[in-house]
Structure 1
Amino acid sequence: MRVKSRALAILVAAGVVAGSIAVLSSPSAAAAPGTVVISQVYGGGGNSGAPLTNDYVELFNRSGAPVSLDGWSVQYTSAGGTGNFASNKADLSGTLAPGQYHLVQLAAGSTPSGALPKPDSVGSINLSGTAGKVALVHSSDGLACNGSSAPCSDAQVALLADLVGYGSANYFEGSPAPALTNATGAFRKSGGCADTDDNGADFETAAPAPRNSATAPAPCGGGDPSPSPTGSPTPTPSGTPTPSPTPTVTPTENCDTAPTHRISQVQGSGEASPVEGQAVRVEGVVTGSFQGSGQFGGFYMQAPTPDADPATSEGLFVFSSSPVKTGDRVLVSGKAIEYNGLTEISPSTAVNVCGTGAIKPTEVKLPLEKGVSLERYEGMLVTFDGDLAVSEIYNLGRYGEITLSKGTRLWQPTDRKGVDTEKDARRTILLDDGSNVQNPPTLPYHTGGSDTVRIGDEVKDLTGVLTYGFGGYRVQPTEQVAFKAENPRPAQPAKVGGDVRVASLNTLNWFTTLKSRGATTVVERDRQLAKLVANITTLDPAVAGLMEVERNNDVALNSLVDALNAKAGAGTYKAITHPNPGTDLIQTALIYQPAKVTPIGPARSSSDPIFNRPPLVQTFGKAEGAGETFTVLVNHFKSKGCSDSDGTASGADADQGDGQSCYNAKRVKQAKAVLALIDSLKLTNALVLGDINAYGEEDPIHTFEDAGLTSLSKKYVKKADRYSYVFGGLSGELDHVLTDRSAGKLVTGATIWHVNADEGRFMDYNTEFNPPYLYQPDPFRSSDHDPLLVGLKL
């Protein structure tokens, strides 16, 4: 059962006050020994010779009580620069048991190598591989100081739970920790327990060996290690010890030794076991053994007869290496604990197999009734009645996870009216694969007739053990899981009619420069190009607006055109040179088929500083000269991310809590600037297209619609198919084509070709981690956004 975070908040607050860091006259800081401390720092991830792809910071609870990290953050600034901690921040959540580690995965370098164990938190901070300053902050607000050129005030220092300055850092505790390399990280001594208020004395360097919440706890005052099933793989890099189940002690108990508790008494009806920390003996039937290589080091057991309280679970996880199999009737002795949100017996001191039995799965209907939690089924064998739709496969290739939802897929609440987020939470469950293996060579699940699973496919009557880990309930299957293709791949886009077709495509960072935003190797670049060519030639647009093309004097753009012409025939496509490509590494772009359309007048753009990726404007007419003309405005608005090279979103651009995320105010200004551009250029038959980074019912789209533009997807695409992007398990449309009134009269149809958003990232051009057998030089997963296609009758 989950531990109440509110009850722990008082302890955490008290610990921070006692361990707050005070600034001295020199650029150093001192602290009383902290509760949660930074135990490892590594900044060489993905650099030349690095053993790991990602930077990371590891945290450790050196106290004797659980500590909640909710509302905390890890922050970073350079060793001696003028930037503040606020510019580089990763938010934290969860609770650390005494002696438990917490792994924060940070930015990846350009040279892939080894993968981290499964992180407990993820951020995008790019640490220096040699010298820097890392702060553990008892706040999710960024600190507007750096300890040197911008000194930290007493109030800011009071928020520091820990500080590590390494290498040539000018802010630290006592003295700086040693400088690092691509092959070394900084380790807090004594497994994380050392804290003398001197970074130089407390830290040493060694090959990076990250530990996460699934690593065996190492309490500073001693205690029982208690690994539990994580529900997701947590491998450890080569050379780092991997926790193994505590060998079962030769039992003094036998099958005649009576139980002391029912399983339901160990679970209790609340959020924490009423007998936590006590020795117990329980009886039940094994419902699932996960003791094999790469699994959880234990098994689940369940009472064959439930008690009278529906709020108490009848299932339990046992951490034990004593061999058992499904159907064994067992009596188990050991300590009842709460570990990483899961009630379990760990370590077990006796496992007696005393016969056989059978457990019928408990039927669970989604959505759950209001006020009912899956906690009452934790550790039990369950069946989810009826069909569940696939809503997210982002981690299918990495951790074997699939998000499922009763009924339809899950929708972004700002994309359409009528989305009930509270009900969506009650109709959702995570399917895991019963394994801790990361990046397996083959996918653990696939849809019948396919090598993969697409979002929208369905599984019927899912059966397995319900468990808890990494902040959510999940099902570990106990029988084969069969998906049916309710969303088969569309080989061609739907017909849109007309005599001229216009497309909008996000190219997913098409770069000819390696090791930048796109491909890291020539092989990857060729694989990416093959997929883009397959996508565009199948769409066969007369005009295509492109996003995320490298801004490098049209080298990337012309390379794409050359590849298209190599497949479609010499001269089939030409590119339009952008007169003002902007300041970002990527730009908007246009290609067209001269046999079908002719550019009229020069390409134009906007000089409004609201854009760092200015729109590209071009008027076209039919190649033979007859008929109407039309003007395309290709856009890529500011993303929803809250921090980037421009700094951290603030003021009106900060997240307002309305579901539109950061920089919504800027996107509205960009929409108004596009409308002003249409007016200033006196454009008619205008098509505003591109990655607007706003969903269908968000302010930027309403700004366009209030000015008289019409969303073609809302008009022509049925609601269930109106999406182009999936994020966080929620589908919605970030990519749009909108027309003015006169252009709307030329439109014969519009569609969204679902070749990307429903496909897993393991299908794309990348070679690291992706199983080789899944790659095909076809349109599928040529990007993470679906292309839009419009028909015009000129």
Structure 2
Amino acid sequence: MRALSRALAALAAFGVAATGVTALTSVPAQAEPGTVVISQVYGGGGNTGAPLTNDFVELFNRGSAPVALDGWSVQYGSATGTGTFAANPVVPLSGTLAPGQYHLVQLGGGTNGVPLPAPDTTGATNMSATAGKVVLARSAQGLACNGGSTPCAPEQTALIADLVGYGNANYFEGTAAPALSATTAALRGDHGCADTDVNGTDLQAAAPAPRNRATTPAPCGGEPTPTPTGEPSATPTPTAEPTSTPTPTPTVDPTSTPTSTPSSTPSSTPTEDPCWTPPTHQIAQVQGSGDVSPLAGQTVRVEGVVTGDFQEPDQLGGFFLQDPTPDADPATSEGLFAYARSSFKDVKVGDRVLVTGKVVEYNGWTELSPVTVVDVCGTGTVAPVRQSLPRAEGSTFEPVESMLVTFPEPLTVTDHYNLGRYGEVTLSSEGRLFQATDRPGVSEAANERRSLLVDDGSTRENPPAIPYTDPRAVRLGDTTLGVTGVLGYGFGRYRLQPTKPIGFLRTNPRLPAPFPVLGNVKVASFNTLNWFTTLGSRGASNAEEQRRQLAKLVAALKGMNADAVGLMEVQNNGQSALQALVDALNAEVGAGTYAALSHPYPGTDQIHVALIYKPARLQLVGPARSSTDPVFRRPPLIQTFRRVQGGEPFTLVVNHFKSKGCDTAATGPDADQGDGQSCYNGERVRQAKATLALVESLRLPNALVLGDLNAYGEEDPIDTLEAGGLTSLTKRFVPAPLRYSYLFDGRSGELDHALAARDLLRRVTSATIWHINSDESRILDYNTEYNPPGLYRPDAFRSSDHDPLVVGLTLPGGR
């Protein structure tokens, strides 16, 4: 934060009227560097789709000394309204904030989401979810200004310790922070330390991550000064120009502590001290400016400081070293990996080493292997190089390969498929990644630039202790700040090997039940992920797994509490598998609560679609119907219902279109066309057309087509259904950040759909997706192989790999 600007101070000194400084009030008087700032603003609490019940403002002490908040306050104003800050409830503050400590101010809220962590201060202010103005004032009195229609006079501005204007706010520092939503907050960069007096630079829109006084303090380090505007350089400024030919004198880092001091006396000669043997090359010369080392195949001796120690046999088998005196070329990395286990020479982080070895390109990774000499010659330090995502278009991590790097921005967990098997998670900037064919405006190239794969520095497969599972397994949508590690490479991807523990903020909390839907009838769609009563075919491999699977499926169905549920991937063995599921469900919710329909034409596939319903709530109108059209490998199940009180009927069309998997039969229009829709897209389009024909030919009243259609939201099969007069209910009712039901290859998307015919659309009152599966790691499912036994719970979470979808209908008529 900066002090009162010279221009504004001069105007105040000459007694210029407040109206004369309107143009200057977008940058108010600031507190001295190192005081308390607004580190987070969230105004969507309790809204539809909101992860948290309350709005909040988070404060942070970025200074080096405690700050007393007694007599201070948090004040709010609308983005462009005429009301002053004093017109809204003023939230008084108290207590002392230590350096690096957060202070959580809970404000107004609603019914959706989960509670905030324990607040340090509570107020009643309701903020806008998208745009507004928040001030931290060194006064308990409301400011009689708003920075816009009522400008803040110099004496009022001087009371403002910090200001955040977001969205289309007309009062802000520099430029406004981004517009927010029910699912995004404005987070100050570098865990609260970033402060250039430009809201648009310092704060980014990301998933809300509230922190309170109980959060581990994160000091900025020393007396902070305003962070320079602009992106930090990816390569540190060199302290000296490298010489083209190394001189035969020992290189000594002036900040290091040698383990043995070279001497000019005969008792200490170069032949007696290996640290006298100088390097032959700088690390930057070994790395070169391209993907491949210009010295590949040559033996070199390099010097650096150990930044990452992964020498044990179940780790990477070596260590990372980095030159603390980089060259002047930003295209050359200053880091290198040395393949040398601790049994050869044990080193530790901070050791200054001279390493002799052969330069190789190991599957695209420049490293020294074999290493023949490792000499520890003192200690040193290397500061991590700041990086940010997304990367610039056309760039890679090659210039910082094997270097110590840090990502101070908020990053979101977007993939954990290999968490249990290899200890990997993928993080992304700007929220989670979505499938490019699921919604407009998504680019797979941009997805890649936003991604960072985080590994665990280990080669062990299916380790007994899995990272990021305590106190609960990390979920997609959880976030972290300040990820630091060394950037290795393997299996075709750059991999960050953490050198500091990564703590995840539980910004995507589990919901114990779906968001409530409105109406007098509730229907759902759920893919059961191969519910089989025949062991060892698909689904459970043994009786114990089957028991665990059934418990999770029952918990999920019980949580949905729908009047009718269309099911996919139920074993096609008559009524055996379906009835076993209904019996187990009724044992939990009450005898006779649910009944199972009999499919008139289930087809010959191993799995079929099914339908269960509550006889006390719904009555059947006519028999169950299907189609013998061979285009359906898993024929649909069609049933018309009416509420038991009577009234208008509605029809469920439960379907499960052909999967995207490719095989030798996928030819012609069913082959992968390279458009992101994978194989059998042509067949899924034909199935969509056949579904529309059924709705029309059977004159189905109030038809609702639902199920796993194996097509993302902007793919041809969904376009076909929409062009035929059906409306996607999730596109209409579910906010885009929450509109997904499946995870594949680190991208979320919606494979499970509910589409209403025109006559039903006016009866649909709401829809939601219950995120109990796609956000959860597969190590939590019913399988017993590889999954640590302590992680299993007989609950709804990871009961399948698809999220269930729930729709609320309001049907007229009846008693």
Q: Which amino acid aligns with 1:334?
A: G
Report the Cα offset of residue 367 of structure 1: 1.0
1:348 equivalenced with 2:382 (yes/no): no
SS of aligned partner of 1:259: coil
Report the Cα offset of residue 373 of structure 1: 1.5
Which whole-Å CA distance do the structure 1 matches of 2:665 and 2:416 have between them?
Answer: 30
Equivalent residue, structure 2, for 1:695: 712
Equivalent residue, structure 2, for 1:630: 650
SS of aligned partner of 2:275: coil
1:582-601 aligned at under 5 Å gives the runs 582-601=603-622
Q: Which amino acid aligns with 1:696?
A: G
Kindly tell me: are residues 310 and 689 of structure 1, through their superposed partners in 2, closer, same or farther at Cα, counting changes over 3 Å? Answer: same
1:762 equivalenced with 2:779 (yes/no): yes
Q: Which amino acid aligns with 1:257?
A: T
1:664 equivalenced with 2:689 (yes/no): no
Unaligned runs of 5+ in 1: 1-250
Alignment counterpart, residue 779 of structure 1, candidates 772, 791, 796:
796
Residue by residue, what CA displacement relative to the aligned partner does 1:515-536 show, whole Å, maximum 9, x if unpaired?
A: 0111000000010000000000
Equivalent residue, structure 2, for 1:609: 630
> For the pair shown, which has the larger CA radius of gyration, 1 or 2?
2
Q: Return the TM-score normalized by structure 1.
A: 0.67
Alignment counterpart, residue 332 of structure 1, candidates 341, 355, 367:
355
Alignment counterpart, residue 547 of structure 1, candidates 568, 580, 585:
568
Report the Cα offset of residue 293 of structure 1: 4.1
SS of aligned partner of 1:714: helix
1:420 equivalenced with 2:443 (yes/no): yes
Equivalent residue, structure 2, for 1:392: 415
1:394-793 aligned at under 5 Å gives the runs 394-446=417-469, 450-624=471-645, 626-643=646-663, 647-793=664-810
* RMSD of aligned Cα (Å): 1.1
SS of aligned partner of 1:352: strand
Q: Which amino acid aligns with 1:562?
A: D
Q: Which amino acid aligns with 1:518?
A: G
Residue by residue, what CA displacement relative to the aligned partner does 1:480-499 show, whole Å, maximum 9, x if unpaired?
A: 11000111111110011111
SS of aligned partner of 2:779: helix
Contact 1:688/1:737 (<8 A) preserved: yes
Which whole-Å CA distance do the structure 2 matches of 1:406 and 1:306 have between them?
Answer: 28
Which whole-Å CA distance do the structure 2 matches of 1:370 and 1:707 have between them?
Answer: 39
Report the Cα offset of residue 751 of structure 1: 0.2
Report the Cα offset of residue 726 of structure 1: 0.6
Which whole-Å CA distance do the structure 1 matches of 2:566 and 2:487 have between them?
Answer: 47
Q: Which amino acid aligns with 2:702?
A: N
Runs of 4 or more, structure 1, over 3 Å off, are: none
Q: Which amino acid aligns with 1:327?
A: G
Report the Cα offset of residue 678 of structure 1: 0.9
Report the Cα offset of residue 446 of structure 1: 3.5
1:369 equivalenced with 2:369 (yes/no): no
Contact 1:252/1:350 (<8 A) preserved: no
Kindly tell me: are residues 318 and 554 of structure 1, through their superposed partners in 2, closer, same or farther at Cα, counting changes over 3 Å? Answer: same
Report the Cα offset of residue 297 of structure 1: 1.4
Equivalent residue, structure 2, for 1:262: 282
Which whole-Å CA distance do the structure 2 matches of 1:731 and 1:636 have between them?
Answer: 19
Report the Cα offset of residue 513 of structure 1: 0.3
Which whole-Å CA distance do the structure 1 matches of 2:273 and 2:314 have between them?
Answer: 30
Which whole-Å CA distance do the structure 2 matches of 1:468 and 1:741 have between them?
Answer: 53
Which whole-Å CA distance do the structure 2 matches of 1:662 and 1:752 have between them?
Answer: 26
Report the Cα offset of residue 588 of structure 1: 0.2
Residue by residue, what CA displacement relative to the aligned partner does 1:181-228 show, whole Å, maximum 9, x if unpaired?
A: xxxxxxxxxxxxxxxxxxxxxxxxxxxxxxxxxxxxxxxxxxxxxxxx
Q: Which amino acid aligns with 2:599?
A: H
Which whole-Å CA distance do the structure 2 matches of 1:370 and 1:564 have between them?
Answer: 52
Which whole-Å CA distance do the structure 2 matches of 1:443 and 1:428 have between them?
Answer: 22
Which whole-Å CA distance do the structure 2 matches of 1:494 and 1:335 have between them?
Answer: 60
SS of aligned partner of 1:512: coil
Q: Which amino acid aligns with 1:511?
A: F
Which whole-Å CA distance do the structure 2 matches of 1:508 and 1:390 have between them?
Answer: 24
Equivalent residue, structure 1, for 2:153: none
Report the Cα offset of residue 370 of structure 1: 2.1
Equivalent residue, structure 2, for 1:182: none
Which whole-Å CA distance do the structure 2 matches of 1:452 and 1:325 have between them?
Answer: 30
Report the Cα offset of residue 587 of structure 1: 0.1
Contact 1:653/1:666 (<8 A) preserved: yes
SS of aligned partner of 1:571: coil
Q: Which amino acid aligns with 2:809?
A: L
SS of aligned partner of 1:467: strand
Contact 1:446/1:483 (<8 A) preserved: no
Residue by residue, what CA displacement relative to the aligned partner does 1:6-43 show, whole Å, maximum 9, x if unpaired?
A: xxxxxxxxxxxxxxxxxxxxxxxxxxxxxxxxxxxxxx
Q: Which amino acid aligns with 2:514?
A: P
Which whole-Å CA distance do the structure 1 matches of 2:439 and 2:806 have between them?
Answer: 21
SS of aligned partner of 1:657: coil
Which whole-Å CA distance do the structure 2 matches of 1:488 and 1:273 have between them?
Answer: 46
Q: Which amino acid aligns with 1:362?
A: V
Contact 1:588/1:634 (<8 A) preserved: yes
Which whole-Å CA distance do the structure 2 matches of 1:723 and 1:612 have between them?
Answer: 25
SS of aligned partner of 2:329: coil
Residue by residue, what CA displacement relative to the aligned partner does 1:286-341 show, whole Å, maximum 9, x if unpaired?
A: 00111124111111000001100000000001111310000000000111111121
Which whole-Å CA distance do the structure 2 matches of 1:428 and 1:504 have between them?
Answer: 32
Report the Cα offset of residue 252 of structure 1: 9.4
SS of aligned partner of 1:483: coil
Report the Cα offset of residue 601 of structure 1: 0.6
Which whole-Å CA distance do the structure 2 matches of 1:293 and 1:351 have between them?
Answer: 18
Which whole-Å CA distance do the structure 2 matches of 1:443 and 1:297 have between them?
Answer: 20
Report the Cα offset of residue 253 of structure 1: 7.7
Which whole-Å CA distance do the structure 2 matches of 1:427 and 1:689 have between them?
Answer: 33
SS of aligned partner of 2:624: strand
Greater alpha carbon shift after TM alignment, 337-346 vs 633-642: 337-346
Which whole-Å CA distance do the structure 1 matches of 2:559 and 2:396 have between them?
Answer: 47
Which whole-Å CA distance do the structure 2 matches of 1:531 and 1:442 have between them?
Answer: 24
Q: Which amino acid aligns with 2:619?
A: T
Report the Cα offset of residue 420 of structure 1: 2.3
SS of aligned partner of 1:547: strand
Residue by residue, what CA displacement relative to the aligned partner does 1:126-157 show, whole Å, maximum 9, x if unpaired?
A: xxxxxxxxxxxxxxxxxxxxxxxxxxxxxxxx
Contact 1:366/1:385 (<8 A) preserved: no
Which whole-Å CA distance do the structure 2 matches of 1:371 and 1:711 have between them?
Answer: 36
Report the Cα offset of residue 461 of structure 1: 1.2
1:276 equivalenced with 2:268 (yes/no): no
Which whole-Å CA distance do the structure 2 matches of 1:701 and 1:252 have between them?
Answer: 76
Equivalent residues, number:
538
